[in-house]
Amino acid sequence: MWSLVAVNMVDFGIFRDILQRIISKNEVNNMAKSKLRLDMRRKLKDGTCPVQIAVGYGSNLYLATGIYLAPEDWDVRTQQATGKGAKRVNSVLETLLTRTANRILELRESGQFGKLSSAQLREMLTDLDLDSPTVGVPTVGAMFETVIATKEGGTATLFNQTLKKLVAFCDPYQLRFEKVTKLWLDNFYASLTGLSVNSRAMHLRNLRNVFNYAIDENITANYPFRNYRIVSEETAMRVLPVEKMRLLLSLPLSAYDTEYRDIFMLSFYLVGINMVDLSALTKENVVEGRIEYRRAKTGKFYSIKIEPEAQAILDKYKGKKHLLAPFDKYENYKDYVAHLNAALRKVGPIKKVGGKPQYTKNHLPVMVPLEAGITSYWARYSWATYAADLDIPKDTISEALGHKYGSAITGVYIKFSRDKIDAANRKVIDWLLGIK
């Protein structure tokens, strides 16, 4: 008697498991299968109600079919229309239901279905031409603004310029990443009329940077830059030959022009420091005979020894708010740099006619421009070129300028000696000044 009961209990347990599996399977099937329904809650004035597709897989989503029927013309059990024209209506509904089922299968196989929000799923089920949703997905314009927020200084300015070029070409705030193709890139490039090859290349590289960011954030999988060649030209060396640099130092100039020459030379003496960083220096940046600061463009920390030539200029132009007085006069350093560049481009040796110096009516010397295209940046490039001419190792020059060189991994473990940079700077200055 006991063994029979035990066997019955075992049989009952097996039966219960089988029954539970059947019930679970039916629940899954019911949840997975999309169905048609007549929404009685949304009755129109004429008494008809909308026919909807109840999307399965637990989405709790209902899609409009565009068909309205009276309750008496709908069979709830068969989920079909009845009455006049029912055959045509049912054919349309069956087509819509099949189309929805196929789209769901496609989304599930691609792995998108479970990742979509309700709004995105609705969009993907109603617009079959979409490869990915647009609802809640940043446009190219919106992503540009996100990327710009991660940039600083001149880099942020350049990205803003690219965004302006996009605005002139299209509406980037309506532009989807999936719509950008190689042909689109060609058309955008062609729209950048009046710009140099390298300026056009810069705008394309900025756009590529935004695409890379969007891919990293899983915003898009579209990458039109694959195998797309961005044409550029080798940048002309903006270097003042050492003979001209020496001549610049010896020119008899007015107090006005002398100031601009001194600031240019200070940039050179401080290993080609950029004007944006030079303009931001205060007394706090002077630490134990060194200029210490973080570069605005990269955030990299610099510590540059103040050589006597640089100290003489710092002492001559002591500022109050800034380390240098000239920058106290301008709210925006770019205004000062514009005047500096203009002054540098006109200074030079006094023009002579028949061996006689020429002067203006105001008794000012007429000068032959030393270098018509010179800018403040030439101090930085000139320092690097002179260093290379002196056979200073490339890694020392790169480290001095804040450029990456060699293995990034090695750089993590080896702290570059600033003594090497100090020695390189002294060597460059001595060579310029003819000091042996």
pLDDT digits 0-9 by tens, 89-104: 999 999 999 998 898 8
Candidates 162, 157, 129; CA nearest to 143 is 162
pLDDT at 68: 94
Helices (H), 42-196: 86-109, 118-126, 140-148, 153-169, 182-191
Q: Looking at the structure, do residues 256 and 292 belong to the same domain, yes or no? A: yes
The answer, yes or no, to whether residue 5 has pLDDT greater than 70, is no
> Across residues 385-409, what is the average pLDDT?
77
Do 159 and 206 touch, CB atoms closer than 8 A?
Answer: yes
Contact in structure between 177 and 216 (CB atoms under 8 Å): no
Are residues 415 and 303 part of one domain?
yes
Q: What is the pLDDT of residue 95?
A: 92
Q: What values do phi and psi take at 352, rounded to 5?
A: -125, 140
Domain of residue 311 covers 242-433
267 and 376 in contact (C-beta within 8 Å)?
Answer: yes
Domain assignment of residue 23, yes or no: no
Predicted confidence (pLDDT) at residue 82 exceeds the cutoff of 80: yes
Q: How many domains does the chain have?
A: 3
Q: Worst-scoring range by mean pLDDT, 113-127, 177-191, 338-352, 403-417?
A: 403-417
Residues 250 and 212 in one domain: no
Final residue belonging to a domain, choices 102, 126, 150: 126
> Both 41 and 152 in a single domain?
no
In a domain, 339, yes or no: yes
pLDDT for the residue numbered 11: 58
Say how far apart CA 421 and CA 427 lie, in whole Å.
10
What's the pLDDT score for residue 116?
78
323 has a pLDDT exceeding 90: yes
Has residue 7 been placed in a domain?
Answer: no
180 and 70 inside one domain: no
Grade residue 416 by pLDDT with cuts at 50, 70 and 90: low
Quickly state the pLDDT bin for 401 (edges 50, 70, 90): confident
Q: For residue 406, what are its two tokens?
A: 């060699």
Percent of the chain past pLDDT 90, that is, above it, reads: 54
Residue 290: which CATH number?
1.10.443
Answer whether residue 114 is part of any domain.
yes
Residues 6+ apart with CB under 8 A from 290: 303, 304, 305, 306
For residues 189-209, give the mean pLDDT: 93
Region 258-264: mean pLDDT is 96
Confidence of residue 257 (pLDDT cuts 50, 70, 90): very high
Question: What per-residue confidence (pLDDT) applies to 267?
Answer: 96
pLDDT band at 25; cut points 50, 70, 90:
very low
Asked if residue 382 lies in contact with residue 388, where contact means CB atoms within 8 angstroms, the answer is no
pLDDT in tens, 279-311: 999 999 999 999 999 988 778 889 999 999 999
Instruction: Please report the pLDDT score of residue 365 as a whole number.
Output: 79
Q: How many residues are listed for the chain in this entry?
A: 436
User: 304 with 405, same domain?
Assistant: yes
Domain end marker among 175, 198, 216: 216
Burial of 19 (0-12, 13-18, 19+ CB in 10 A): exposed
Asked whether residue 80 is assigned to any structural domain, the reply reads yes
Q: What is the pLDDT of residues 110-121, one digit of tens each?
A: 887 877 778 778
65 and 166 share one domain: no
Average pLDDT on 366-393 reads 91
Query: What pLDDT score was predicted for residue 410?
Result: 36
**Is it the case that residue 201 has pLDDT exceeding 50?**
yes
Note whether 306 and 421 are same-domain residues: yes
Q: Is residue 28 one of the residues assigned to a domain?
A: no
- 318 forms bridges with which residues in the sheet? 324
Structural domain ending residue among the three candidates 126, 158, 178: 126
Query: According to the model, what pLDDT value does residue 352 have?
Result: 82
Q: Does 237 map to a domain? A: no
Task: Calculate ∠ Cα 194-195-201, nearest 5°.
Answer: 145
Both 253 and 153 in a single domain?
no
Q: Using CA atoms, how far apart are residues 277 and 280, in angstroms rounded to an integer? A: 5
- Residue 314 shares a structural domain with residue 171: no
pLDDT of residue 74: 95
Strand 356-357 versus strand 49-55 pairing type: unpaired
Q: Would 207 be classed as within a structural domain?
A: yes
**8 A C-beta contact, residue 122 and residue 63:** yes
Mean pLDDT, the chain, rounded, equals 85
pLDDT on residue 383:
95
Residue 32 has pLDDT above 80, yes or no: no
pLDDT at 262: 97
- List all residues 6 or more positions away from 25 whose beta carbon is below 8 Å from its beta carbon: none
* Judgement on whether residues 168 and 91 belong to the same structural domain of the protein: no
Higher pLDDT, 300 or 10: 300
pLDDT (average), residues 165-180: 93
| Banded pLDDT at 31 (limits 50, 70, 90) | very low
DSSP string, 135-150: TTPPPHHHHHHHHHTT
Tokens describing residue 127 = 């617009």
Q: Could you say which DSSP state residue 329 is in?
A: G
Q: What local confidence, expressed as pLDDT, does residue 107 receive?
A: 85
Alpha carbon distance 86, 106 (integer Å):
30
User: How many other CB atoms sit within 10 Å of the CB of residue 47?
Assistant: 11
What pLDDT sits at residue 13?
58
Same domain, 333 and 423: yes
pLDDT of 19 over the 90 cut:
no
Mean pLDDT of the 330-358 span: 89
Rg from Cα positions in the chain: 37
